[in-house]
Amino acid sequence: EHERIHLETSSVLFREAPKHLVQAPQNWPPLHPSAFQQKPKSNPVEGVDYPSNQMISVKKDNVDLGKPADFPSYGWDNEYGERSVDVPDFSASEHMITNGEYYQ
């Protein structure tokens, strides 16, 4: 979560920087073809305007959360303490939700 906060904060700087100073990391996937449309459709179509997002089954498991006070790297206050949690079976989407999915 901590790294995501930095990425979100940095994204503001990326948007304000001159385009020639910003480049995508080498291993990022290519943009979806709909990113190059001059006029977006008013009703996006799954598989055309945004990728299908399959649900993936995750089996139940026991998960250890937190970290000890003597952990050798920095941590936020809410990261310390340790507990074990039984997580039941669940499904999660393969990708983060897209604007097209949200629209549907």
CA–chain centroid gap for 65, Å, is: 20
Residue 22: what pLDDT?
86
Residue 66: what pLDDT?
92
pLDDT in tens, 12-49: 888 899 989 988 889 999 888 878 877 766 788 898 88
pLDDT in tens, 41-82: 678 889 888 889 999 999 999 999 999 889 998 888 888 999
Residues 6+ positions from 93 with CB-CB distance below 8 Å: 53, 54, 55, 56
8-state DSSP, 46: B
What predicted TM-score, i.e. pTM, was given to this entire model?
0.52
